[in-house]
Amino acid sequence: GGIFYMDNAMFCWQCEQTAGSKGCTKMGVCSKDPDVAKMQDVLIYLLKGIGFYATKLIEKGETIPQEYGEYFTEGVFATLTNVNFDGQRFVKYIKKGNEIKKDLMQRAGHIENVPMGADFISPETRGEILNLSERPNLGVMDDENLDMDIRSLREFLIYGIKGMGAYHHHAYALGRFEPEVANFMYKAMGCTLDRSLTAESYFDLNMELGKTNLKCMEVLDAANTGTFGDPEPTEMLITKKKGPFIVVSGHDLRDIGDLLEQTKEKGVNVYTHSEMLPSNAYPELKKYPHLIGNFGGAWQDQQKEFDGIPGAILMTSNCLMKPRASYRDRIYSTSVVGYPEVQHVPTNNEKKDFTAVINKALELGGWPEDEPEKKIPMGFGRNALLSNAEAIVGAVKEGKIRHFFLIGGCDGARPGRNYFTEFAEQTPKDTAILTLACGKYRFNKMDLGTVAGFPRILDCGQCNDAYTAIQVALALANAFDCDVNDLPLSYIVSWYEQKAVAVLLTMLYLGLQDIHLGPSLPAFVTPNILSVLVEKFNIKPVSTPEEDLKVILG
């Protein structure tokens, strides 16, 4: 009935590009096949039960081993859009999940009123996993009678957990495991099995996720800056240099740090790609002269950009697209990333060996000559902006800066994303743009000049550096002694996957009003839930740049 296609091969609607803005039912737009979709559903189902038992133990005052928290975090991250397409890896996650769940069940002993499915133990061969009753029955569409608004809020919560899981993973890769984050993930995932939960309870859990994700981004910020120093404003090269090279994509600073160390004096240049771009501003990464600059644009251009390039590619996290034959022999995954037949660099005893990637780069020989140099400014992290807070506040008070726009988020391939380019182009000359995440590629190479001595485009970093933007907003509100919603600051947010969901929940938890969200609204948000978000937070779907600017600037 309605949107339930119980006879479908799969059902997934977690990303912005989902088929027809309704849901992928035959094959993922991302290229996830029904088999992998099913395995991800089984893994999430397992994790819900693990969350339930872990929470029972925590309530008794017990501590869950950090190793379980890391497994849980990696498990949710593996199911995030464009991360892992490798069925064999999911079989391994499922086996490990069974082992952990059995241990937790044994430690918890007898529990009254265990929700249905909490004690689920999965079969452990690919064939049997795929045969688990009908296909979509463990995932989004597990219960035809579930109220649609409750399903909407439940999935909102699960996608927020996946997004926060990605940030937590990057933090503990740098030695900052955060029990508060892990414990909330257990609790929230466990709650999704509770059939008696009301829409209000789910709404509250989503707000608590926003609060916990703020903590998580703070921990990740401390991990990144504690390891690699505070990002500094930097002129970054965006053109090619002669010689062998490795392009590093994804988000993981630990991986690029290790790679730079291992490529020292090897005659191999390293370029960042997509969300790795901010690496060019961190002192402890910048110090390597062979970190050359940034190559290419946002993630959705990778198939065209990587097509037969004479260098090696390392994917450290999302966003990976189905590799074309022309570069399948030179793309490597590591960490949580996976694709069938793509070479994987494993983590052994905390250390990765990138020799295979380095040798491939040397063998391919690299770019034949230098391109004429072009550089763009970036590296306006939290520290850089807050240390200039006085100058910024002064410029606002003197009327030199009339308004700030935070234009950022995840980019994507769907038409309608030009909205963000046109919006940036049309912002008046006495306004400044804060940008972060790969949404910035829509306009970061345009020269929009300066305002009050600052570049008009201030690149604050990765998607997790929404933390920077939030800190800047709070500092400005403090300086003007006003509510953060009374600042001359507007949020123009593009979303694509689940980290954007986590960041959005953080912004809502902080009470930020009037967020413009686009290019389309999430398929998993029902009209009722949308009207609640509009009523409480005045969330607005983007219209046209002209209209929206008129409304914002009055």
pLDDT tens for residues 503-554?
999 999 999 999 999 999 999 999 999 999 999 999 999 999 999 999 999 8
Integer angstrom CA distances of residue 38 from 135, 137, 358: 7, 9, 35
Is a pLDDT exceeding 60 seen at residue 6?
no
Look at residue 1 in the predicted model and tell me its pLDDT: 34
Point out which residues pair with 234 in neighbouring strands. 378
Q: Is 198 helix (H, G, I), strand (E, B) or coil?
A: coil
Q: Is the pLDDT of residue 348 over 80?
A: no
Q: Region 35-63: what's the mean pLDDT?
A: 97
- The pLDDT, as a whole number, for residue 179 is 98
pLDDT at 306 (0 to 100): 98
* C-alpha to C-alpha distance for 545 and 435, rounded to whole angstroms: 16
| Res 135 pLDDT > 70 | no
Is residue 490 over pLDDT 80? yes
Residue 482 has phi, psi (to 5 degrees) of -135, 170
pLDDT band at 414 (very low <50, low <70, confident <90, very high): confident
- β-strands 450-451, 454-455 pairing: antiparallel
pLDDT in tens, 52-77: 999 999 999 999 999 999 999 999 99
Residue with the bigger pLDDT between 4 and 471: it is: 471
Provide the pLDDT for residue 351: 84
Region of residue 61 (phi > 0: left; psi between -120 and 50: alpha; otherwise: beta): left
Contact 542, 533 (CB under 8 A): no
Which of helix, strand or coil describes residue 71?
A: helix
* Mean pLDDT computed over every residue of the chain: 94
- How far apart (Å, rounded) are the C-alpha atoms in residues 96 and 161? 20
Q: Find the mean pLDDT for residues 324-335.
A: 97
**Digit-coded pLDDT (tens) for 416-455:** 789 999 999 999 999 999 999 999 999 999 999 999 999 9
Over 50: is that where the pLDDT of 299 sits? yes
Percent of the chain exceeding pLDDT 70 equals: 98
Angle between helices 148-173 and 179-191 (to 10 degrees): 160
Question: Which pLDDT score, from 0 to 100, does residue 128 have?
Answer: 93
Which residue's entry shows tokens 């970061």?
A: 444
Give start and end residues of each alpha helix (H) in 263-364: 283-286, 302-305, 355-364
Instruction: Note the pLDDT of residue 4.
Output: 47
Q: Band the pLDDT of 7: cuts 50, 70, 90.
A: low
Q: How confident is the model at residue 217 (pLDDT cuts 50, 70, 90)?
A: very high
> Quick check: 25 and 8 in contact, CB under 8 A?
yes
Nearest to 458 by CA among 340, 376, 528, 345: 376
Does the structure show a pLDDT above 50 at 3? Answer: no
Rounded average pLDDT over 258-264: 98
Segment 184-190 mean pLDDT: 98
H helix or E strand, kind and range, residue 354: none
pLDDT above 90 (res 211): yes
> Which residues contact residue 438 at a Cβ distance below 8 angstroms, ignoring those fewer than 6 apart?
274, 275, 298, 299, 410, 411, 463
Confidence at residue 5, expressed as pLDDT on a 0 to 100 scale:
47
What pLDDT, on a 0 to 100 scale, did the predictor assign at position 144? 81
pLDDT at residue 145 in the model: 86
